[in-house]
Amino acid sequence: MPLSSEENMPQTPPFVAMFSTSGYNRNLYQTNEDSYGGLYYHDNNLVSGSVEALIQLLVPNVDYYPDRTYIFTFLLSSRLFIHPYELLAKVCHLCIEQQRLCDPGADKIRLRKIAPKVLQLLTEWTDTFPYDFRDERIMRSLKELTHRLLTGDEIYRKAVQQMTQSLIRKLTTLSQYEEVLLKINATVPDRLTVLKTKPQSIQRDIVTVCSDPYTLAQQLTHIELERLSYIGPEEFVQAFVNKDPLDNEKSCFNDHKKTRNLEAYVEWFNRLSYLVATEICMPVKKKHRARVIEYFIDVARECFNIGNFNSLMAIISGMNMSPVSRLKKTWGKVKTAKFDILEHQMDPSSNFYNYRTALRGATQRSLTAHSSREKIVIPFFSLLIKDIYFLNEGCANRLPNGHINFEKFWELAKQVSEFMTWKQVECPFERDRKILQYLLTAPVFNEDALYLASYESEGPENHIEKERWKSLRSSLLNRV
C-alpha cells in the first residue's frame, strides 16, 4: 500500500510459514499476560481465554499488532461462539473507544500510528475470509471503521479503496462461479434420456473426446484446483458445528451460511466416480470396456504423479463400484499390475497410511518447488474433511470454566492453513474447453442404470442378480 516508510503496514508471513511453532507464543508480542486478563498460557503458549480477552488480543494499538497466526486462528474459530458481524462490531467499538477515533480532535500522530495497523487487520480479514462480508451487517461495520480512519486522515483513502475493491472482486467472482455451477447442473441431461434420443453407437465417449490419458489428468486437475480455490477456510468449521453448546437458542451457522463450495466439491468427486463407472459400463463390446479401464488406469497414474489425489481416488472409487468390479470377463482382458499399485497407494488400511505418506511427499515437493506443476497438492478431500471432523469432535470448544479452548483451535488452524496453501496454486496446464465441458456435463448413469448396463454386458451370475436384472429392466426401460 502506498504509505511512507514511517507508516508501512506490519509484515506478515505467508501461510506456508505460519504454523511452524507448536503454539501461539506470547514472547513474540509486545505485551504480557497481565495486560489482558482472562488469558492462560502454558510454557509461554496461549492455551485458553475468555471470549472478551481473545477479542481484545485481536485488536491492534499503537505499540502492538497481533501475529498472523493468531489472526487466522481466531477468525477461523471465533465463529463457533460469535457471529462474524458481531465480532467486527466489537472490534470496531474497541478501536474507536480505545484509540479515541471518535474524538474530532484526535491526535494526528497517534492516528497515523494506529490507522495502518487497523487497516492491515481489516485487509487480512477481507482477504482470508471474504465470504463473511456477504452479510450486510458486517459490511456496515467495515464501512463505519474505515470511515473513522479516513475522517482522521485522508492519506489512507487509497489503501481503503484497494481493500474494498479487492473484496468486491472476490465476492463478484464467487457469485459468477455459483451461477456457472447452477448452469452446469441444469444442463446435465439424464443418461437414459440420451439413450432414448441417440443410439449408443453414435454417442460420444471419453476416449473419443480425449484420447490422451495424460491430457485428461491435466484437465481434471484444472477442475480440482478451480473448485478448491473457491472453498473458504471457514466452510470447514461451518460444516460440523450447529451452535454454541453454552447457548441453546443461538445457532452460529445454519441461518447464516453464505456458501456451499465445500458441498459442490464433494458433489464433483461423486460425479467423477459415476462418470468413470458409466464410461466403463457403456460399451457393448468387451474389448472396448477393457480399453476404457486401461485408459482410466493411465489417467489415475498421471493424477498420482501430478499430486492430484482427489481425482485419483474418485477414479479408483468408480472402478471399484460393484457394477464395474463384477465384469470379470472384461477385467480378464485388462493388464491390472498398474491398477494394483494405485490401489495399494490409496489403501484405506492403517488409516490410509500409504496415501498419507504420498501426501507428505507431495507436500515436501511443493515446499521446494521451482515450477507451478511441482507445487500441486490436491488432497483426497473426503479424508481431509474427516480428519478435521474428528479433530473437532475429539476436543471441547470450551473448557469447564467457560474459556475458549485455544489449543484445540490452534491445531484446527494448522490443518486448515495447509489447505489454504494448496488451494492458492495456479494450474500450469493449458485448458481444453471441449474436454472440460465433457467432464462437467456428460450425462452419467445412476446406480440402478449402472447395474442394468453391467448385466446387459455380462449376464447375471446367480439367482439374486437375475431377479435384480428383471426388476431393473422393467422399471428403468419403462421410464425410457
pLDDT in tens, 360-395: 999 999 999 988 899 999 999 999 999 998 988 888
Of 261, 267, 322, 270, nearest in space to 130 by CA: 261
Cα–Cα dist 416/47, whole Å: 19
Could you tell me the CATH number of the domain that includes residue 84? 1.20.870.10
Q: Are residues 50 and 142 in the same domain?
A: yes
Q: Are residues 231 and 304 in the same domain?
A: yes
Give the pLDDT band (50/70/90) at residue 190.
low
Residue 185 covered by a domain: no
Q: What is the tens place of the pLDDT at every residue in 301-347?
A: 999 999 999 999 999 999 999 999 999 999 999 999 999 999 999 99
- Give the 3-state secondary structure percentages of the chain, helix then strand then coil, rounded to 5: 70, 5, 30
Q: Are residues 270 and 153 in the same domain?
A: no
Give the residue, 406 or 196, on which the prediction is more confident. Answer: 406
Give the residue, 86 or 113, on which the prediction is more confident. Answer: 86
Residue 475 exposed, middle or buried by CB count within 10 Å (0-12, 13-18, 19+): exposed
Lowest-pLDDT choice from 18-22, 32-36, 252-256: 32-36
Q: What is the tens place of the pLDDT at every residue in 218-267?
A: 999 999 999 999 999 999 988 766 544 444 444 444 445 678 899 999 99
Q: What is the tens place of the pLDDT at every residue in 99-157?
A: 665 555 556 677 777 889 999 999 999 999 999 999 999 999 999 989 877 765 677 88
pLDDT of the residue at 246: 45
User: Which range has the top average pLDDT, 58-67, 351-360, 439-448?
Assistant: 351-360
Average pLDDT over every residue of 182-198: 66
Beta bridge partners of 64: 61
Q: Are residues 221 and 96 in the same domain?
A: no
**Residue finishing a domain among 167, 194, 223:** 167
Residue 31 covered by a domain: no
Residue 455 covered by a domain: yes
pLDDT of the residue at 106: 56
pTM of the model: 0.86
pLDDT of the residue at 324: 97
What is the domain count for the chain?
Answer: 2
Give percent of the chain with pLDDT exceeding 70. 81
Residue 312 covered by a domain: yes
pLDDT of the residue at 203: 62
- 315 within 8 A of 300, measured Cβ to Cβ: yes
Q: Are residues 162 and 217 in the same domain?
A: no
Structural domain that includes position 146: 39-167
Given a cut of 70, whether residue 9 has pLDDT beyond it is: no
Residue 307 covered by a domain: yes
Average pLDDT over every residue of 24-33: 45
Given a cut of 60, whether residue 22 has pLDDT beyond it is: no
- 279 within 8 A of 294, measured Cβ to Cβ: no
Cα–Cα dist 478/78, whole Å: 54
**Residue finishing a domain among 103, 138, 167:** 167
Could you tell me the CATH number of the domain that includes residue 285? 1.10.840.10
Cα–Cα dist 86/247, whole Å: 16
Q: Per this entry, what is the length of the chain? A: 480
Q: Are residues 318 and 233 in the same domain?
A: yes
Mean pLDDT of the chain: 85
Q: What is the tens place of the pLDDT at every residue in 384-431?
A: 999 998 988 888 899 998 899 999 999 999 999 999 999 999 999 999
Given a cut of 90, whether residue 474 has pLDDT beyond it is: no
Give percent of the chain with pLDDT exceeding 90. 61
Q: Are residues 161 and 226 in the same domain?
A: no
Q: Are residues 282 and 359 in the same domain?
A: yes
At residue 155's C-alpha, the angle toward residues 61 and 3, to 5°, is 75
- 380 within 8 A of 310, measured Cβ to Cβ: yes
Which residue do the cell numbers 500522530 mark? 109
Distances (CA, A) of 172 to 127, 139, 220, 439: 14, 15, 25, 25
pLDDT of the residue at 278: 94
Given a cut of 90, whether residue 198 has pLDDT beyond it is: no
